[in-house]
């Protein structure tokens, strides 16, 4: 590896994946960090929402911040996907500096969701322009995708579906479902391509499920997640919650818990995937 620090973040839609974010930081990350110590590697977890100021959020710099974070270390990439496509940024949501740095974005603004843009930049990167011209970036070396099973949909009320499926009141359901299928197919197609090339670029894809629990709600998970993140990064819980308030997240009753994958705890599968990729990376 080029350095002894791995910096990971989770790409997902929000707020439907808050329970997964909490699960990762509470139950998965501590074990991953200890495992990395055995390999003399330091593991960091960053949530870019909490690394941005209110000014950056208000001035639409989030796409650039996420792209730049992926570019800092194109080694490991985590993504959790459910049945929500996510909202597509418009030109009002992207500043000129971002378009100057990644001009190919022009072809996708208004049509591709924020989450899909991050996935595209990880697997099939946009050209990066700077003072010395443009740079063709390589794909992220080790990508781990976890797709949530859709069986839970039948258990949701209409209000819950607004959070876990819908992207807005005026959306076309057929178009939404088609775009979601195409988004997932993009990941599988890239995996097939990388596997055929055998060029040391790996995409791991798993399908997992969670038990729906009406006694839970996302607000509790969000507060717990922020508390864990504040302790992990030695920052102020109150300041982070202040940033969260800017996102206007809402929380219907009910949430997922007890995540499973292939008859195992999802935690064990994620750790297994990560360790396999870490060993491969360190062996080169």
What pTM does this model have? 0.93
Which pLDDT tens digit goes with each residue over 227-254? 999 999 999 999 888 878 766 666 667 8
Q: How far apart are CA 246 and CA 252, in angstroms?
A: 18
| 232, 45 contact by CB (below 8 A) | yes
Percent of the chain surpassing pLDDT 90:
55
Q: How far apart are CA 172 and CA 1, in angstroms?
A: 45
Which pLDDT tens digit goes with each residue over 146-157? 999 988 777 788
Q: How far apart are CA 176 and CA 147, in angstroms?
A: 17
Which pLDDT tens digit goes with each residue over 162-177? 888 877 666 788 888 8
Greater model confidence, 14 or 118? 118
Which pLDDT tens digit goes with each residue over 44-102? 999 988 877 666 655 456 888 899 999 988 899 999 999 998 888 888 888 899 999 99
- The 10 Å CB-count burial string (b at 16+, else e) for 174-193 is eebeebbeebeeebeebbee
pLDDT of 128 above 60: yes
Angle at 118 between CA 33 and CA 50, to 5 degrees: 55
Q: How far apart are CA 8 and CA 36, in angstroms?
A: 13
Q: How far apart are CA 10 and CA 168, in angstroms?
A: 23
pLDDT at 2: 46
User: Is there a cis peptide before residue 63, judged by omega within 30 degrees of 0?
Assistant: no
Q: Taking all residues of the chain, what is their mean pLDDT, rounded to a whole number?
A: 88
Which pLDDT tens digit goes with each residue over 248-271? 666 667 888 899 999 999 999 999
CA distances from 62 to 49, 108, 114, 195, 277 (A): 8, 16, 10, 32, 28
Q: How far apart are CA 278 and CA 118, in angstroms?
A: 22
């Amino acid at each position: 590896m080029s350095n002894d620090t791995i910096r990971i973040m989770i790409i997902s839609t929000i707020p439907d994946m808050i329970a997964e974010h909490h699960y990762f930081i509470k139950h998965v990350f501590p074990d991953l960090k200890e495992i990395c110590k055995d390999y003399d590697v330091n593991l960091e977890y960053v949530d870019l929402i909490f690394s941005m100021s209110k000014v950056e959020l208000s001035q639409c710099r989030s796409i650039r911040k996420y792209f730049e974070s992926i570019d800092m270390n194109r080694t490991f990439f985590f993504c959790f996907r459910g049945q929500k496509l996510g909202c597509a940024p418009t030109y009002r949501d992207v500043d000129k500096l971002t378009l100057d740095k990644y001009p190919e974005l022009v072809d996708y603004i208004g049509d591709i969701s924020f989450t899909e843009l991050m996935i595209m930049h990880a697997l099939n990167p946009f050209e990066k322009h700077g003072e010395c011209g443009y740079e063709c970036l390589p794909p992220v070396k080790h990508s781990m995708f976890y797709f949530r099973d859709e069986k839970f949909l039948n258990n949701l009320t209409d209000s819950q579906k607004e959070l876990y499926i819908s992207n807005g009141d005026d959306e076309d359901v057929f178009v939404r479902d088609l775009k979601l299928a195409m988004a997932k197919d993009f990941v599988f197609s890239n995996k097939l391509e990388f596997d055929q090339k055998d060029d040391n670029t790996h995409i791991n894809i798993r399908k997992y499920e969670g038990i729906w629990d009406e006694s839970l709600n996302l607000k509790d998970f969000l507060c717990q997640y922020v508390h864990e993140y504040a302790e992990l990064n030695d920052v102020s819980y109150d300041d982070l919650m202040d940033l969260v308030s800017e996102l206007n997240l809402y929380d219907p009753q009910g949430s997922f818990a007890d995540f499973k994958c292939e008859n195992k705890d999802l935690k064990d599968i994620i750790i297994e995937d990560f360790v396999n990729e870490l060993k491969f990376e360190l062996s080169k």
